[in-house]
Chains A and B, each alone.
Chain A
């Protein structure tokens, strides 16, 4: 029979003043399983714990009830007292007679005492059904997978690899670098993007702990924290990277010209191409959609000019597998298409461009050699109108949120315009100037003062053509008048949006995303880089729009999380998780549907003893289960049991009153 010990705490006056503790101690003795019931001033103190330890040994207790403060407060302390006495710590139950009684019924000692009696009876009854539980330890594979090779992915990979943890970095496009590689100079210091980025890109390629897999995508992820298995599809590049030296003979000779997406389609690239001169890896790939050899079997020039014989038109996609313990998702962002701004003539007027197009033009290595040019006639513009919040903070046409970076990069563009075209003038239509950040407000001032950019607060209502100029009509709210600016070029600061593939990726990884497609962090304030799925972390714009300093900070935070996860050889896990009994499981798989963590899989077992026929049952992966109990309540066969909160435990509590 069960032998229960009850230990009632005075908590100084906190409990003793409002509950008749000696009476409670006597009442507990009436339960037949209770072998010892005592009181003490401070149960959580050393002598209090000693008292528990001694009683456990002397009375050969099979479970312990401490009636004191909330279990959220001292459950761990008392569990430790049990283990110190050689007892399984999970045989403890705490009756919360302080937060739930003495503190909330201070005017009615009789009722508070009765309630304490009930709470203790419930805890005794529950404890009798408690089982010995043991911490679960799961092995870890110490390799991280980083998805996306923008500055976020690069930083995370480097930081993790510097801690001597192997990293597999998977990048969708032929080169790492992401959007940052497309930028000219960067706010708030105006250092050249390429100059600070390319050394990091080279480090990635040469790091002994980084395996870089460009031109590839993750197509499957199985498993759980510490034990994931990823399937990675390497797209056919038709170039053997092992032998290619990156000489560039092929890209020079290829006769097929294609709009160059890296330069925002301002110029052309070839069908065999490296996206930009500093690409890492610096090896070309063949764009199968445009290569005439792949499409029609005609051409083959690149194979002819390649001295190394690296061109292989028969190459096919390849799927490889990697075992990893943690994942950092860093898939970055896309830019909103401003087509809905019809009143601006977007699509009709060639001289309306987006900020990223402007960024490519002013880039020294860009398609116009660093000088902005009007797409219509190739002339250098003098009057340039920048319009902020295109699609951002615009529920009707775009999205509700603020894209965060446009205020700053538009100020930067005003400065860069002035640097490149000295006699130019920048007009900036804005709703607000949001310049919160180190050195940011000063930077905006610099644009306003040094380059004399004209900031006009108000929305642009219309753009129309007059001769070869664009007339921008808007409101200047500060003087309360409609203004018209004659522009040579109009630049739209289009909203930052989540990559359109994010929802599919999130489903594949088993993590969640918000209504805009940004991947969701576990907690907006306290767990900003973790996802709700253990072992999967977020860095950069894939979580929300942010600039480079924030992106890098978040990426390093991810690296710290991964290093922490891999610090031991195994991961310790709370044993309060669910298990399914094969005997009772009918295979309805209702539990599979409700599990928020996809912890439940199916398994084929023999129909009966020694039978050859099979039947399907559900099985819980103990590494993944978080112990919510959703599945337990849904199971009609009562086949599932959640350790620590089993049906017998809870029913015992209910019937104890």
Chain B
């Protein structure tokens, strides 16, 4: 009820905890962790093609999506990020043969854990973007940004918040 009122007044309310709110012009921070060979190259192509997308994402480059430790996701959510995007090569296209398959499996498990402790489904997302998919990268970022805006600010599971 209270949430509805706040929302009606234009306040952003966290999907996980109605006590966490932000003003109407609140902008989420999204952490993007991209593999060097496909998704990072794809994001570069978005740039060279001057395709515009929301400015909320901050990008970290890793050699392969399989380098992504669940710790990185959790750490991001603990500090500044309201959402995380992991992106790798398409299945079968991994520069390192099979790394992206490990990444996907590890990601699914991590996501289950995050859901279990109360994070919304869409806080952390995974995508396949190839080095040729500049337009797709822009679309993915736009979608993730929109999803996170819908979810509102994040309740951070940090010692000081309990």
Contact = CB atoms under 8 A, between A and B. Distances in A.
A446 interface: no
A632 interface: yes
Nearest to A642: B67
Contact of A104 (B50, B68, B75): B50
A115 B47 contact: no
B55 interface: yes
B58 A103 contact: no
A632 B67 contact: yes
B75 A655 contact: yes
Interface in A609-645: 626-630, 632-634, 642, 645
Nearest to B40: A72
B97 interface: yes
Contacts of A654: 31, 60, 72, 75-76, 79, 81
B157 interface: no
B58 A650 contact: no
B121 interface: no
A643 B101 CA distance: 22
A425 B27 CA distance: 80
Interface in B1-34: 27, 29, 31
A114 B55 contact: yes
B106 A103 contact: no
Contact of B66 (A107, A122, A532, A594): A594
B106 A633 contact: yes
B61 interface: yes
A36 to B, nearest CB: 24
B9 to A, nearest CB: 25
B65 to A, nearest CB: 9
B138 to A, nearest CB: 7
Given A629-B63, A650-B72, A122 B58 contact: yes
Interface centre among B43, B51, B81, B96 (most CB of A within 10 A): B96
A104 B51 contact: yes
A73 B47 CA distance: 12
A633 B107 CA distance: 11
Nearest to B141: A104
A231 interface: no
Chain B interface size band reads 35 or more
A115 B58 contact: yes
A634 B103 CA distance: 10
B69 A632 contact: yes
Contact of A626 (B27, B50, B96, B106): B96
A633 B96 contact: no
Contact of A99 (B43, B72, B81, B97): B43
A119 B58 CA distance: 7
A106 to B, nearest CB: 6
A633 B69 contact: yes
B69 A630 contact: no
A627 B95 CA distance: 11
Contacts of A119: 58-59
Contacts of B63: 576, 627-629, 642, 645
Interface residues of A, number: 45
A99 B48 contact: yes
A650 B66 contact: no
A104 B67 contact: no
A657 interface: yes
A255 interface: no
Contacts of A106: 50, 52
A382 interface: no
B41 A72 contact: yes
A633 B31 CA distance: 18
Q: DSSP class of B's interface residues: helix, strand, loop or mixed?
A: mixed
A626 B36 CA distance: 13
Interface in B36-58: 36, 40-41, 43-44, 46-48, 50-53, 55, 58
Interface in B60-99: 60-64, 66-72, 75-76, 79-81, 94-99
Contacts of A410: none
Given A103-B47, A633-B106, A654-B76, A512 B55 contact: no
Contacts of A111: 27, 55
A370 interface: no
B66 A633 contact: yes
Contacts of A634: 102, 106
A71 interface: yes
B127 to A, nearest CB: 17
B47 A628 contact: no
A628 B99 contact: yes
Interface string A92-129: 00001011110111111001101100110010000000
Contacts of B51: 104
B63 to A, nearest CB: 5
A549 interface: no
Interface centre among A99, A104, A114, A629 (most CB of B within 10 A): A104
A483 interface: no
Contacts of A532: 97
A630 B44 CA distance: 24
A61 B102 CA distance: 39
Interface centre among A512, A632, A634, A653 (most CB of B within 10 A): A653
A573 to B, nearest CB: 14
A240 B54 CA distance: 77
Contacts of B62: 629, 645, 650
A657 B58 contact: yes
A581 interface: no
Contacts of B31: 654, 657
Contacts of B98: 596
B80 A657 contact: yes
A100 B67 contact: no
A437 to B, nearest CB: 30
Contacts of A650: 60, 62, 72
A27 interface: no
B44 A70 contact: yes
A447 to B, nearest CB: 40
Contacts of A105: 52-53, 55
A403 to B, nearest CB: 24
A650 B60 CA distance: 8
A651 interface: yes
B52 A633 contact: no
Top 10 nearest A-B pairs (CB, nearest first) are: A99-B47, A629-B67, A628-B96, A111-B55, A630-B66, A596-B97, A103-B47, A657-B80, A628-B64, A105-B55
21 contacts: A96-B44, A96-B59, A104-B55, A105-B52, A111-B55, A115-B55, A122-B58, A596-B94, A597-B97, A626-B96, A629-B63, A630-B99, A642-B67, A645-B63, A647-B71, A654-B31, A654-B60, A654-B75, A654-B81, A655-B75, A655-B80
Given A96-B44, A111-B55, A597-B97, 18 more contacts: A99-B43, A99-B44, A99-B47, A99-B48, A100-B44, A100-B47, A100-B59, A101-B55, A103-B50, A104-B51, A115-B58, A119-B58, A122-B58, A596-B96, A642-B67, A653-B60, A657-B29, A657-B79
